[in-house]
Amino acid sequence: MAPFAAEVFGHPSGHHRQARAARLALEDARDQVAELLGAAPGEIVFTSGGTEADNLAVFGVLGAVARKRPGAETVVISSAIEHAAVLEACRAAAARLAGVEHERVGVDAHGVLDLDELAESLDGDVALVTVMLANNEVGTVQPLADVVAHVRRLAPGAVVHTDAVQAAAWLDVALAAPGADLVSVSAHKLGGPKGAGALVVREGTELEPLVVGGGQERERRAGTHDVAGAVGLATALASVAGQRDEEGLRVAALRDRLADGLLCAVPSVTEAADRKSVLPGHSHLCFAAVDREELVVLLDEAGVCVSGGAACASGALEPSHVLAAMGVPRTIARGSIRFSLGHTSTPADVERALAVVPEAVARLRG
């Protein structure tokens, strides 16, 4: 990224040699991202990250429908456990666009989409179905191939979007979400820079731009490109793809050691989801009779950085809509902690957590 942040300062839409150098880097990054996501280069729209990619998917599809059929009854279906970038976009689209309604489909006790409920909700009014490839809080991988098959059969006019922000580090998106029309990814979940991402827009998918102006990204996202960000996204994705299988096994083994160790060492702990259908880096544990915000602080003081749910912009921990959708009682959800492991995680990190967490929980319970 460094040369494109500092030395190659040309504007990629310009015509002189500096501009051409920037454009070459941008288009190389596009080719690489496209290949790694199983798309064509023209299907990649660079964005400022996962949130913008999700917003572009939701507002883009619903905006295109509203332009063609203003006020027509239009339904957007999402899972109940989507990230706020999708849920809030659906809610806002329903509030802003006449005729648009947002329906949420539930999940089972392990956080996996209820396909029967989805099938019942699908009909000719549905314009968009958005189901994440893997959940960010509990890590459950969703049955995207089944979602696509249901939509093609029961709502053939609808577009399928998947938020693959959390999954892309661990799963080959092209294989795990076959046939999705729109796919969101974010660089910082892959070890890349914050503020860079992409939306895959399959050829033929009608999309109204969110940001208009200079017509960049084939009129789908205006604004001068973040060349360094695009290069960072492509490099991170390539790096992750090159070691996905080994890293998945290595990190899952570390995660298992951590989760099994804590389940054994701490009384009254439950695992939020079924580990078999969870990403390798996720361990979401519910500690009874503990306040997660207090546990996060205690563990942070001991050098163990964990998450107590989805941190909103203020940094405060909100009640988890994901655990609520899974039917986890509020009293149990109060003490739920997400341990996230990744490419920098080591056995020593896990041993440190195993040494610190039981004591912190005992202290809080005491």
91 vs 188, beta carbon nearer ligand PLP: 188
d(CA 121, CA 118) in angstroms, rounded, equals 5
Please report whether residue 186 would count as binding ligand PLP according to CB under 6 A: yes
107 vs 262, beta carbon nearer ligand PLP: 107
Determine how many CB atoms are found less than 10 A away from the CB of residue 306: 17
Please report whether residue 197 would count as binding ligand PLP according to CB under 6 A: yes
Please report whether residue 136 would count as binding ligand PLP according to CB under 6 A: yes
Q: Among 183, 226, 221, which residue's Cα sits nearest to residue 201?
A: 183
Determine how many CB atoms are found less than 10 A away from the CB of residue 35: 17
From 45-53, 70-78, 96-104, 146-154, give the range in contact with ligand PLP by CB under 6 A: 45-53
Q: Among 346, 355, 354, 322, which residue's Cα sits nearest to residue 78?
A: 322
188 vs 343, beta carbon nearer ligand PLP: 188
Locus of tokens 């577009």: 159
d(CA 208, CA 222) in angstroms, rounded, equals 12
Task: Give least dist CB 187 to ligand PLP, A.
Answer: 7
Please report whether residue 50 would count as binding ligand PLP according to CB under 6 A: yes
Task: Give least dist CB 46 to ligand PLP, A.
Answer: 12
Please report whether residue 49 would count as binding ligand PLP according to CB under 6 A: yes
∠ at Cα 159 (156, 162), nearest 5°? 130
- DSSP helix/strand/coil, 240: helix
d(CA 54, CA 70) in angstroms, rounded, equals 22
Please report whether residue 51 would count as binding ligand PLP according to CB under 6 A: yes
One-letter identity of residue 292: R
Task: Give least dist CB 135 to ligand PLP, A.
Answer: 7
Return left, alpha or beta for 289; rule: phi > 0 is left, psi -120 to 50 is alpha, else beta.
left
From 47-55, 68-76, 146-154, 257-265, give the range in contact with ligand PLP by CB under 6 A: 47-55
Judge contact between 127 and 62, C-beta under 8 A. Answer: yes
Task: Give least dist CB 144 to ligand PLP, A.
Answer: 14
Query: What's phi and psi for 180, nearest 5 deg?
Result: -65, 140
Instruction: Examine the residue annotation and report whether 305 is marked as an active-site residue of this protein.
Output: no
Catalytic residue among 90, 264, 286, 312: 312
Q: Is 222 exposed, middle or buried (CB count within 10 Å of its CB: 0-12, 13-18, 19+)?
A: middle
84 vs 149, beta carbon nearer ligand PLP: 84
Task: Give least dist CB 82 to ligand PLP, A.
Answer: 8
Binding track over 67-86 against ligand PLP, x by CB under 6 A: ----------------x-x-
Q: Which one of 22, 97, 165, 180 is in contact with ligand PLP (CB under 6 A)? A: 165
50 vs 335, beta carbon nearer ligand PLP: 50
Please report whether residue 47 would count as binding ligand PLP according to CB under 6 A: no
Task: Give least dist CB 186 to ligand PLP, A.
Answer: 3
Judge contact between 183 and 37, C-beta under 8 A. Answer: yes
Please report whether residue 132 would count as binding ligand PLP according to CB under 6 A: yes
12 vs 197, beta carbon nearer ligand PLP: 197
Q: Which of residues 265-294 bind ligand PLP (CB under 6 A)?
A: none
23 vs 189, beta carbon nearer ligand PLP: 189
- DSSP helix/strand/coil, 338: strand
d(CA 80, CA 94) in angstroms, rounded, equals 16
- The helix (H) or strand (E) run that includes residue 38 is none
Q: Among 33, 13, 35, which residue's Cα sits nearest to residue 22?
A: 13
Q: Which one of 163, 217, 226, 247 is in contact with ligand PLP (CB under 6 A)? A: 163
Task: Give least dist CB 165 to ligand PLP, A.
Answer: 4
d(CA 208, CA 59) in angstroms, rounded, equals 7
d(CA 284, CA 135) in angstroms, rounded, equals 11
Positions marked catalytic = 312
Which residues form the interface with ligand PLP (CB under 6 A)?
49-51, 54, 83, 85, 132, 136, 163, 165-166, 186, 188, 197
